[in-house]
Amino acid sequence: MILTVTLNPAIDKRYTVQELRHGTVMRVGSCSSTAGGKGINVTKVLFLLGADYRACGVLGGFSGGFIAESLKQIGIKTDFTFVPNETRSCINIFDEKNAIQTELLEPGEPLAAADMARFMDDYKRLIKGADFVTMSGSALVGFPSDSYAELIRIAKAAGARAILDTSGELLKKGVEAKPFMIKPNADELFQLTGVTAEDDNTVVKAAKELYKGGIEIVTVSLGKRGSITACAEGVYFIAAPDVKVINTVGCGDAFTAGCAYAFDRGLPVAEALKIATAAASANAMDIRTGYFELENYEYLKEITTEVKYS
C-alpha cells in the first residue's frame, strides 16, 4: 500500500484570461476549482493508475471540507486529520495569448502544536500498513523544518520506504534522514549541492554524490526534457515525449505517483521511470490538475525511452 502525505493542501483555482495585464480589471474567461496540494495530486494519479493507496494530511475549515467532499465524490480513499484552520487556496492564471502560466500560492494558516501532534499520531497509525509513503510539497507554518525527516524516520521504523518531493529546508533536512527516493528539480538540486544544472554531466555528478550519500534513487527533473536518475543500476536519462502542453501544474506530482505505483508493484527502476514520465507527460496534456486520459498515458508509456549512461 502507498500512503500519501499532504501537509499543506489547497483548493487549486485555475483562471484563463485572454492576456494577463497588470493594474487593470480583467474578466476571467473560464475558471475551475479542484482539490489540490502536491500530495493530493499524487493521490489522484494513483487512483487513476489503480494503485493500492490511502491519502493523509491536514485539512481544515470550509476549504478543507470542500477538498474532502471532492475526493469522496471521485471515490478516493482518505484519512485526513481535521483542524480548525482554514485550508489555503492557490491560483493558477493562464494567459491564452502568450501561453504563460502565473501561480499565486497562499502559505496556509499556522498550525497549533496540539493539532500537529494529532496528525503525527494519525500518521504513526497509518504508516504501519504502508510499503511506500510519498511526502510532497510545503508544510503549514507550525510544522518544524525537520518534519519530513521525522516522518521518514518513522516510516523506516515501520518498514516503509519514503519518496520525498519538497524544497528548501524541508528538503535539506529530509535528505539527512536518507529517504528511499528524492526528486529535485534544477533549483532544488542547487539548494542541496550548490551545483547548477549547466549540463547533463554536471547533473549526473551531483546525482551520483547524493546516491552515494545513502539515497537509493536520486531523480533530477529537467522539465520538458525529461530526467536524470542515479541508482544502484547506474545512471539513466529518460527523455520526455514531445506533447502539446496545456497545463504543467501537477506534472511533477504525476511523476512521483508513477514511481510509487511502479515500485509498489516491484518493477525495476528503468520501467518505473518510464511509467512516471508517461504519467507526467499525460498530465501536461490535460487542463485538469493531477489528471490524464488513460489512453494518452498508455500511448506515451509505449514511446518513452531511456538511455543508460553507466
Average pLDDT over residues 82-96: 93
Instruction: Give residue-wise pLDDT tens across range 167-212.
Output: 999 999 999 999 999 999 988 998 898 877 778 889 999 999 999 9
**Which pLDDT value is given to residue 249?**
83
Q: Which of 216, 131, 229, 133 is nearest to 178 (CA)?
A: 216
**Which pLDDT value is given to residue 310?**
64
Return the bridge partners of 230, or none. Answer: 218, 235
**Which pLDDT value is given to residue 307?**
80
Residue 246: is its pLDDT beyond 90? no
**Which pLDDT value is given to residue 279?**
97
Collect contacts of 262-271 with beta carbons under 8 A, ≥24 apart.
Answer: 263/132, 263/161, 263/163, 264/1, 264/2, 264/51, 264/52, 264/131, 264/132, 268/233, 269/217, 269/229, 269/231, 269/232, 269/233, 269/236, 270/233, 270/236, 270/306, 270/308
Residue 76: is its pLDDT beyond 80? yes
Q: Which three-class secondary structure state does DSSP give residue 54?
A: strand
Cell of 184: 529535485
Average pLDDT over residues 71-83: 96
Tell me which amino acid residue 82 is.
F
Sign, CA dihedral 294-296-299-300, equals: negative
**Which pLDDT value is given to residue 29?**
92
pLDDT: which is higher, 62 or 101:
62
Burial pattern 163-193, b for ≥16 Cβ within 10 A else e, equals bbbbbeebbbbbbebbbbbbbbbeebbeebb
Residue position matching grid coordinates 519538497: 166
Instruction: Give residue-wise pLDDT tens across range 11-50.
Output: 999 899 999 998 999 999 999 898 999 999 999 999 999 9
pTM score: 0.93
Arithmetic mean of pLDDT over the chain:
94
> Following DSSP, what letter does each residue of 203-271 receive, concatenated?
HHHHHHHHHHTT-SEEEEE-GGGEEEEEETTEEEEEEPP----S--TTHHHHHHHHHHHHHHTT--HHH
Domains, the chain, in order of start with CATH, read 2-308 (3.40.1190.20)
